[in-house]
Structure 1
Amino acid sequence: MADENRQIAEELIEAVGGQENISSVAHCATRLRIMVKDREKIDQPRVEELDKVKGAFYNAGQFQVIFGTGTVNRIHEQVVALGVSESSKSEQKEETKNQGNAIQRLLRTFGDIFVPIIPVLVATGLFMGLRGLITNLMPGALPENFILYTQVLTDTAFAFLPALIAWSAFRVFGGSPVIGIVLGLMLVNPALPNAYDVGSGDADPIMFLGFIPVIGYQGSVLPAFIAGYFGAKLEKWLRQRVPEALDLILTPFLTLLIMITAALFFLGPIFSAVESGIMVGATFVLELPFGLSGLIIGGLHQVIVITGVHHIFNLFEIQLLAEDGLNPFNALITAGIAAQGGAALAVGLKTKSKKLKTLALPSSLSAFLGITEPAIFGVNLRYIKPFAMALIGGAAGGFFAALFNLQATGMAITVIPGTLLYVDSLLSVALYALTNIIAAGVAFALTWTVGFSDDMLDK
């Protein structure tokens, strides 16, 4: 096995232009990430023909080769053993952060900020689903203390969401994360009128100077993001100018004083209004009648995934959950993901090519677990028609989910693992299962009948 992996590593290095064309190599859970000096020297078709390779593409300044979990670690070891310089993902991010146009860089930054806080929001969503299941099974039988305990589990992350976002923004933009945490906590200080109470009419904002509304920012995303960005920049600017002997005292003092003043009286009201406008537009699409939102989002989401800018949806999903703990967007994108798995499964079962079969079948399983990259780049997009059939399947599944207003209690997990976000009721679980079955089934049937044949292999 080691000799086989070493041979694959040798052929891979040669196919990307040799060691002299490789700056560094790193890996994530499924992909080998290669920083190359000259993209034109990459022989991508040759790379895709290598054993164990499930697909390859160039994105965000990296040539990314999909091997799958486990395999990628072993190939990475062999590539490094052959003398290629190793780098961490964070180091590669530093190399690529200035690549791409302004919009791509902005969306990459959104991803860098929101991805690290997603695990706690996933956990919160699971807690919400489990609480819903328990309360539905035993209505009125649960003691008040137990309900209070579940509220600690489900409400904490969103009550202090600005602190999480400000912490992550300070981390990404080069400030001190602990200052970001404190700044975020100031935005939700109990001394301020609670944003949820103001929204429900149970409390009034404090009017500063008679016209500036001052409230807490519980559940807000954009004000904390902007405060974190400017706060990190201000801290770095101050550290260059404050005498070293006073840096420990003055820099955090001035950063917090200036930023909380700006956030409460200026940045907060402005970007809270911007955030509300974005939510109105996004909610308008989600609330389109007759299942149209599902047709659009379920059908097109995976196209956006290909561009690599889908992290922008993290902001939208977080805001949806912060509002009422429910996320209708998850079911719609789940349909698109399940459909990619259905199309890849059809290719794997229909083809007589042993190599394609060993590529497509594991890729379909990966998609059913919520990771579509092997299915998209390794199979469906390579032959184009299966990808198109999967888009139709995603639209069909999304249409069904939208008709029944299916809503998750969390985010970031989809298809089979995503079932955990719908366990608040048996009806939700059943509708979620049907959404996936419809999406994958339509994609499978269309791919099997008109979307793929082995004749495509020659093309």
Structure 2
Amino acid sequence: MKKAATRRLLAPVAGWVLALADVQDPVFATATMGPGFAIQPTDGRVVAPVSGRVTVVAATKHAVGLVTASGLEVLVHMGIDTVDLNGAPFVCHVQVGDTIQAGEVLAEMDLAALQRAQKLATVIVVVTNGQTVLDDLIVAATDQMVTAKTAVATAVLAVTPVPGAQAVTSTTAASDVELESEFESESESKSKSKSKPNSTSKYAHLATAIVTNVGGPGNINSVIHCITRLRFYLKDEHCAQDAVIANLDGVIDVAKAGGQYQVVIGPAVNEVYDAVMAQLGPAFADMTAGTPTAATTQAAGAPTETDAPTGWLPRLRHGMSQVIGVMTAAMIPVIGILAGSGILKGILAALTGFHVLTVTSGTYMVLNAVADATFYFLPVVLGFTAAKKLGSDPIVLAIVGAILIYPSLMTAAGHATTAQITFFGVPTHLMSYAASVFPMIVAAWLGVSVERGLKRVIPLYLRSVFVPILEALILSVIVLVVIGPLITMISKGLASGILAIYNFSPALSGLVIGGLYQTMVIFGLHWGIIPIVINDIATNGHSYLNAILSITMVAQGGAVLAVFLKSKNKPLKEISLAAAISAFCGVTEPALYGVNLKYKRVFVVASIASGLGGLLTGLLHVNNYALSGSLIGFPAFITPGVGIGPNFYGYLISHYGTLLIATILVYLFGFSDKMLPAPSATAK
């Protein structure tokens, strides 16, 4: 058996070796451009990691491409987002077409200038054609200091070296419009140039969708591209539909930095850029837009301070919209399993209500664990998904979620005698964070700043150990000591107010609670009401308050049912039906975060319908006899010792009346398919 050929890759610069996954750029970190490694440099002298021919020198001097005799295409990328600096911190010592030996000087970086520009100087080495020419790339142990020219990785070739590969000639230098370009062999360049019209045609639909969803040509000042991304300079970034663009087939992600709206494409960026420019015209290819001044951006119509929301109400509305946007985006990955879990919880409630199962049976315990686990561990899941959305560390935020539901803390929170603790002398009230949403969104939001701050003060060689644990500690303390007690204080105040309103007028309290309760659920403020319900059932055997809470679930379910009935969008119809069934089983999260909050008018109209349903419930004095509700919880409205009677009829009238009101109002006034992204946005 023939031994596989290998090639060594040298450290291009002295510094600290990083795994590619630790690079603070999602395109490189996810190996979209190919396998490789990175080095956080301590010196600015950059050498060739392999011997070969120079195929590309970026116009901004921050990237050099090489091709070896064995066919490896190696990219040396200097710094993160340094394309914005237009070459100022770099001096290149090679030109396209030069032959260079491993260890010879490629370029020099001004590390101080990069630091002043607040750019990371990370040097990244990737094999861009690794999928076709490599069996493996073995990177030596990371998290160690190396000198330049030290062997850091070994490329295991998938094929025998191609005779004459050393004779590969250079590609054409990047045009004035391009800041950088993918490097390629001469044969590949010829192949691409011959097929360029077809390539442009192939990507025309994607280009149209991108241009449309960044706000159209009228919202674009100019477009440039780098090795992986289209970089738009937009007049108003608020016009761009981030979620729509990120979900297009052919788009990896959307990023915003340095005044640029970046659409991450990956290896096909050249073709997509050509297709975009074919539609926009050469006037939009303007390198001078690289760092627009305040004067030019204002002249071009870019948003200024005067375009920002003014006044406390618009700012509050804008802030709330951002919070809700992050919550819905973080919840979307788990909506399906939440809906299924909610349905299973409803079935279990029915089975126990009809005494088919007992809560102590093994069958019930296993099924209940399946149904309840997603909700119980929701903070862990949300920590991960919200962190990915906001750019903080997903693993650390998942750990923060686990800390919040740690058994000893949860047990202490469940008892009045242990819920009041002190943390280093600071009085703290513990609360249950199981199934909570808002605290983890806040933690993920803060995580970005906390992580950035820690990295500024902790040396690089200590970061891998101390940054994660300190970030988890800081965020957990903020939630437990500040956010949790604040939510508890506000929720208790609201609960007292609601109880006072109920004692004054059940009908009025039904209107208020029905209209506001699901909003309280979003921000975790409902925990002040739950103990009142539990106490009512435990001491009196019934709870008028729980009957009103039950109505709010039906209203949210009716709203999402209306979306299912009205929409012609198949994916939306599927998630809407599942969310409606889940809500009728007593679990509203899929309806709230999957549909109703996403299309805010649906939630507003549903809350109005919920308020009307609560008013009806209060007028009829509907009572609840168990900690259950919604449509699946109908046995909880049968009066013990009496059976089906006036209270049950009141339940039927109030709950199905609310269902009818919510469905009709949302169908007529709350939702339209016009609220969905335009059809062109889904073009492929």
Quote the offset at 1:198 in angstroms.
1.9
2:554 is aligned to 331
| Aligned positions of 1:404-443 closer than 5 A | 404=622, 422-425=631-634, 430=652, 432-439=655-662
Instruction: Determine if contact 2:447/2:475 at 8 Å carries over to the other structure.
Output: yes
Q: Deviations over 1:283-318 (max 9, x none)?
A: 4459744333554577799xxxxxxxx988623488
TM-score for both structures, normalised by structure 1: 0.52
| Aligned positions of 1:179-198 closer than 5 A | 179-192=396-409, 194-198=411-415
Q: In the aligned structure 2, how far is the partner of 1:122 from the partner of 1:366? A: 8
Closer/same/farther in 2, CA of residues 132 and 367 from structure 1, 3 Å limit: closer
1:271 is aligned to 483
Closer/same/farther in 2, CA of residues 22 and 330 from structure 1, 3 Å limit: farther
Check if 1:176 corresponds to 2:176.
Answer: no
Looking at secondary structure, tell me which structure has more strand per residue.
Answer: 2
Quote the offset at 1:280 in angstroms.
3.4
Q: Could you tell me which amino acid in structure 1 is paired with residue 464 of structure 2? A: L
Closer/same/farther in 2, CA of residues 207 and 185 from structure 1, 3 Å limit: same
Alignment counterpart, residue 138 of structure 1, candidates 355, 374, 385? 355
Q: Could you tell me which amino acid in structure 2 is paired with residue 109 of structure 1? A: V
Q: In the aligned structure 1, how far is the partner of 2:401 from the partner of 2:348? A: 28
SS in structure 1 of the partner of residue 523 of structure 2: helix
- For the pair shown, which has the larger CA radius of gyration, 1 or 2? 2
Closer/same/farther in 2, CA of residues 130 and 364 from structure 1, 3 Å limit: closer
Quote the offset at 1:182 in angstroms.
1.3
Q: In the aligned structure 1, how far is the partner of 2:340 from the partner of 2:346? A: 10
Closer/same/farther in 2, CA of residues 233 and 173 from structure 1, 3 Å limit: farther
SS in structure 2 of the partner of residue 175 of structure 1: coil
SS in structure 2 of the partner of residue 331 of structure 1: helix
| Aligned positions of 1:289-308 closer than 5 A | 289-295=505-511
Closer/same/farther in 2, CA of residues 318 and 180 from structure 1, 3 Å limit: farther
Instruction: Determine if contact 1:170/1:180 at 8 Å carries over to the other structure.
Output: yes
Quote the offset at 1:401 in angstroms.
4.8
Check if 1:112 corresponds to 2:326.
Answer: yes
Q: Deviations over 1:149-179 (max 9, x none)?
A: 2442344344434434443443344221101
2:466 is aligned to 250
Instruction: Determine if contact 2:515/2:609 at 8 Å carries over to the other structure.
Output: yes
Q: Could you tell me which amino acid in structure 1 is paired with residue 468 of structure 2? A: P
Instruction: Determine if contact 1:300/1:391 at 8 Å carries over to the other structure.
Output: yes
Q: In the aligned structure 1, how far is the partner of 2:406 from the partner of 2:666? A: 50
SS in structure 2 of the partner of residue 422 of structure 1: coil
1:212 is aligned to 427
Q: Could you tell me which amino acid in structure 2 is paired with residue 212 of structure 1? A: P
Q: In the aligned structure 2, how far is the partner of 1:190 from the partner of 1:375? A: 36
| Aligned positions of 1:292-371 closer than 5 A | 292-295=508-511, 314-316=522-524, 328=550, 329-334=552-557
Of residues 99-108 and 310-319 in structure 1, the stretch that sits farther from structure 2 once superposed is 310-319
Closer/same/farther in 2, CA of residues 244 and 127 from structure 1, 3 Å limit: same
Q: Deviations over 1:249-300 (max 9, x none)?
A: 232233234444x34xxx5233222102332355445974433355457779
Percent identity over paired residues = 19
Quote the offset at 1:210 in angstroms.
6.1
Q: In the aligned structure 2, how far is the partner of 1:438 from the partner of 1:139? A: 33
Q: Deviations over 1:198-246 (max 9, x none)?
A: 24x5x46544566634757543555544444434422222224433333
Quote the offset at 1:135 in angstroms.
0.5
Q: In the aligned structure 2, how far is the partner of 1:256 from the partner of 1:214? A: 19
Closer/same/farther in 2, CA of residues 215 and 62 from structure 1, 3 Å limit: same
Q: Deviations over 1:13-63 (max 9, x none)?
A: 99x996444699xxxxxxxxxx99679xxxxxxxxxxxxxxxxxxx96458
1:163 is aligned to 380
Q: In the aligned structure 2, how far is the partner of 1:192 from the partner of 1:365? A: 38
Q: Could you tell me which amino acid in structure 1 is paired with residue 325 of structure 2? A: G
Instruction: Determine if contact 2:507/2:616 at 8 Å carries over to the other structure.
Output: yes
Instruction: Determine if contact 1:335/1:395 at 8 Å carries over to the other structure.
Output: no
Q: In the aligned structure 2, how far is the partner of 1:400 from the partner of 1:215? A: 36
SS in structure 1 of the partner of residue 365 of structure 2: helix
Q: Could you tell me which amino acid in structure 2 is paired with residue 436 of structure 1? A: L
How many residue pairs were aligned? 348
Q: In the aligned structure 2, how far is the partner of 1:168 from the partner of 1:374? A: 17
Quote the offset at 1:443 in angstroms.
9.3
Quote the offset at 1:180 in angstroms.
1.0
2:342 is aligned to 125
Quote the offset at 1:108 in angstroms.
1.5
Q: In the aligned structure 1, how far is the partner of 2:626 from the partner of 2:339? A: 11
Q: In the aligned structure 2, how far is the partner of 1:280 from the partner of 1:189? A: 24
Two-structure CA RMSD over aligned residues (Å): 6.1
1:49 is aligned to none
Instruction: Determine if contact 1:133/1:424 at 8 Å carries over to the other structure.
Output: yes
Instruction: Determine if contact 2:490/2:525 at 8 Å carries over to the other structure.
Output: no
Closer/same/farther in 2, CA of residues 122 and 274 from structure 1, 3 Å limit: farther
Instruction: Determine if contact 2:492/2:528 at 8 Å carries over to the other structure.
Output: no
Q: In the aligned structure 1, how far is the partner of 2:422 from the partner of 2:599? A: 54
Which has the higher relative contact order, 1 or 2, with Cα contacts under 8 A spaced 6 or more apart? 1
Closer/same/farther in 2, CA of residues 191 and 21 from structure 1, 3 Å limit: closer
Q: In the aligned structure 1, how far is the partner of 2:395 from the partner of 2:376? A: 18
Closer/same/farther in 2, CA of residues 444 and 167 from structure 1, 3 Å limit: closer
Instruction: Determine if contact 2:487/2:524 at 8 Å carries over to the other structure.
Output: no
Q: In the aligned structure 2, how far is the partner of 1:214 from the partner of 1:366? A: 38
Instruction: Determine if contact 2:514/2:615 at 8 Å carries over to the other structure.
Output: yes
Closer/same/farther in 2, CA of residues 168 and 110 from structure 1, 3 Å limit: farther
TM-score for both structures, normalised by structure 2: 0.38
SS in structure 1 of the partner of residue 347 of structure 2: helix
Closer/same/farther in 2, CA of residues 365 and 322 from structure 1, 3 Å limit: same
SS in structure 1 of the partner of residue 458 of structure 2: coil
Q: Could you tell me which amino acid in structure 1 is paired with residue 427 of structure 2? A: I
Q: In the aligned structure 2, how far is the partner of 1:375 from the partner of 1:226? A: 22
Quote the offset at 1:107 in angstroms.
3.8
Quote the offset at 1:102 in angstroms.
4.2
Alignment counterpart, residue 453 of structure 2, candidates 230, 237, 240? 237
2:157 is aligned to none
